[in-house]
Structure 1
Amino acid sequence: MVKRAVAGALAAVVAVGLAACSSDEPAAPAAPAAPGPRAVYVTNWASDTIAEFGLNEDGSLKSPAISLPVGKGDTHPQASIRSRDGKWLYVGNWGTRDVTPFRIGADGRLTAFPAAHGPAPEPVTPSGIALSPDGKNLYTANFSNGGGGTVSHYRISADGLPHGVATIPAHGRGTTALAVAPDGRTLVTANSASGDISTFTVAIDGSLAWVTTVATGKGAFFVAITPDSAHVLVTNSLADSISYLTLGAGARPALVSTVPNPADEPRGLVLTAKGDRAYVANFANGTGPGHITTFTVTAAGLRQAGPAVATGGNGAEGIALSHNGRSLYNANFNTNGDGSVTTYPLAADGSVGTPRPPVLTGGRQPDLTSITLPAS
């Protein structure tokens, strides 16, 4: 898992990121997702389980969590994402190198379908996951145990099931995460072991073509793309910094600035719907106190907004923002104990309020892209 790799190879380097771009006209984004069940899902890497939480009206989690096994024979669920129509949960499995689709019932309960095996050449230790804006293509970032990272492409058929298409080089080492631009034309990966990001154009059929690789900082771990598809943010986990880049025509990135991060080992990153604020989860080696840091985002760059806020747990990494922008969530890795989720109310100006006490996930070591929220 990314954490174990961080304790070893990843402790030396960690990567994230991914965006998509294409010279072809991409498919139009799908209509807004249906509300679907108000359930939150969290993957527990070390327990091979998925925690299901109900949501209260104020955004807090209903406890205790319902613990569900990951797909039959699958191990180390690392990353998860909900389908655009809210009917499926896709889980990338670090241990078994595949993607398990789960049908989401009206009551929020999950039904596992057979896993889609990673397309050849077989991906190793898939870490991050992303969907195209139209929901027809799914991608995983493959850490490759800190070696040459790869990106796997799956197509989503009309029945909601993923099917492996191709696995291509990420042109960086230790690829931990990826993101697809909202306009569907660019995909960006974060390569932690080599401290850089790679950009790809995205064709109309979802296939990828590498454009370039650009250094950002030691341990480039996670990547996010602004809603206008014009800028990229990268957490440099081992440099304790955040990089800000423009994303030009043809998926050509240019580094604008790199700013210090006021907490230890930034990893997970989420942007508001307007793209004017970024929230960062800080891992602190999985044993030190986790923190959330906040930055304002403008065309000129990033600026720290307020002090770091303690999570009440250890090893903050996964992070997610509610659809209405009123609640923030982070998963606490808690290396030597059970995983947990901390919820924060957000003020109208986006500032982080006093965190609620962490709620246990019923499993161990929720990882990087482990939290999946309702679409509305």
Structure 2
Amino acid sequence: MSAPPGTRRAARAFIVLLIGLMSLVTAPAPRATAAEAPRFLLVAGTASMNIGVLRVGADATLSPVPGNPFPTGFGVLSLVVAPDGRTVYVPHAGDGTVTGYRLDDAGALHPISGAVAALDGPPTAASIAPDGSHLFVVVGGVPGHVVSFAVDPSGALTPTGAPPVPVDGLSAVGMAAVDPSGRYLNVVTYIGNTMSRFAIGDHGELTPLGATPVELGPVAPRFTPDGRYLYVSNEFGTDLSGFAIGAHGELTRTPGSPYPTGGVPHGAVITTDGRRLYVPNAVGGSIAGFDIHDDGALTPLPGSPYPAPAGTMPGQVALHPDGRHLYLADVLTLHGTTMVHSYSIRPDGSLAPTGAPDTDTGVIMSDGPVVALTP
């Protein structure tokens, strides 16, 4: 005997309601949109085998995330954040490996399965392609060389199979950068005065294009966002070298290069509009700021260089995407652990301390390009 129509309708309504309630329970929580995605500042400790992660608030203030700092290998001289803003690669010169981590929305770092690669020497730097498809690692030596890895969507690393390419000069502590087009890799040799250029193939293979002379002690090459100019900090020369980049990656010096910084410069940063450059002076206790002209020449910003806090050795700088804030991380400090200091960028490009308290990263000695801000 069948149930009355009213009973059947009531049963169907109950089932629909039950399914709806179950979907609310089992559906995944909505993911943060790009505008809501949290932003983090990462600072590695060269001497302390860990990575500090600071959350960047909506007002650009900094605070350590829960669990900070996070363990990693020994001798970190470079730290790279992939274009996705959540995949992080860290070469360890002390144990000859490069390791990948996933950064979650709380700011915690988690090792990625398949993202630990053993190398045949101490890795001193890494650089990633703009599309995130390949990672290039500089291995120190006399001469040093560059090896390449394909990056899986999971973040796992696979050797491309391309032979390592030697770096010109004494490259015991080479540093690298891929240009914004993803077509060229440039590697500077800290113990020497050369910059090697390589063309990047479709599968991550590298073709040497020759070497360009630079001043002594070159570190941390930086491209303008449009890929037209390249700047190199010269630690032994207390200045910056500027180069215009030709259609085939060839380099010619910009007018007036090199440019004095007022101290011993570490790695520079360039604003997203390509109009200004800032570089910390590790010896000199300051940050130098420059206008970038249409021909690539640099002229000091008003009041440059800007003093760093007393008792600190400025190491690396990072720019907030809002274009109004800059962060300075120490190499060494009397405080012991690396501190991050916040600056406001005025409309004319000059810098002023924000007055916000300095933020402790919990790591010790941050030397090299070991500071990165997620997109």
Q: What is the TM-score with the length of structure 2 in the denominator?
A: 0.82
Aligned to 2:139: 142
Once the 2 structures are TM-superposed, how far is the Cα of residue 370 of structure 1 from its aligned partner?
1.4
Kept in 1, the 8 Å contact 2:180–2:225? The answer is yes
Name the residue aligned to 2:15. Answer: none
Between 1:56-65 and 1:338-347, the stretch displaced more is 56-65
5+ residue gaps in structure 2?
1-32
In structure 2, the residue matched to 1:273 is 272
The answer to whether the Cα contact below 8 Å between 2:69 and 2:363 also exists between their aligned partners in 1 is no
Give 2:59's aligned residue.
58
Measured after TM superposition, the shift of residue 85 of structure 1 is 1.5
Could you tell me which residue of structure 1 aligns to residue 167 of structure 2? 170
Q: CA deviation at 1:65?
A: 7.7
Contact 1:277 1:294 in 2 (8 A): yes
Counterpart Cα distance in 2 of 1:344 and 1:330? 8
Query: What secondary structure, in the 3-state scheme, does the structure 1 residue paired with 2:146 have?
Result: strand
**1:35, distance to aligned residue in structure 2 (A):** 6.3
Tell me, in whole angstroms, the C-alpha distance in 2 between the residues paired with 1:77 and 1:218. 23
Contact 1:212 1:252 in 2 (8 A): no
Matching of residues 81-230 of structure 1 within 5 Å: 81-113=80-112, 115-119=115-119, 122-124=120-122, 126-144=123-141, 147-165=142-160, 166-174=163-171, 175-230=173-228
Cα distance in 2 for residues equivalent to 1:294 and 1:327? 13
Correspondence 1:216-365 to 2 at 5 A: 216-256=214-254, 257-284=256-283, 290-300=285-295, 301-306=297-302, 307-312=304-309, 313-334=311-332, 337-354=336-353, 356=355, 357-365=357-365
Q: What CA RMSD, in Å, does the superposition of the two structures yield over aligned residues?
A: 2.3
Measured in 2, the distance between the counterparts of 1:264 and 1:226 equals 22
Report if the CA contact (8 A) 2:301-2:349 is conserved.
Answer: no
- Larger RCO of the pair (alpha carbons < 8 Å, separation 6+): 1
CA distance in 1, matches of 2:164, 2:340: 33
Tell which deviates more after alignment, 160-169 or 262-271. Answer: 160-169
Unaligned runs of 5+ in 1: 1-31
Aligned residues: 333
Distance 2:159 2:343 in 1: 37
User: Structure 2 CA distance, aligned partners of 1:169 and 1:35?
Assistant: 43
How far apart are 1:196 and its partner, in Å? 2.0
Q: Distance in 2 between matches of 1:152 and 1:70?
A: 25
Relative to 1, partners in 2 of residues 1:123 and 1:155: Cα closer, same or farther, differing over 3 Å? farther
Aligned residues with identical type, % of pairs: 25
Shift in Å, 1:348:
3.1
Deviation at 1:201, TM superposition (A): 0.9
Segment of structure 1 superposing worse, 216-225 or 82-91: 82-91
Give the TM-score normalised by structure 1.
0.82
Please identify which structure carries the higher strand content: 1
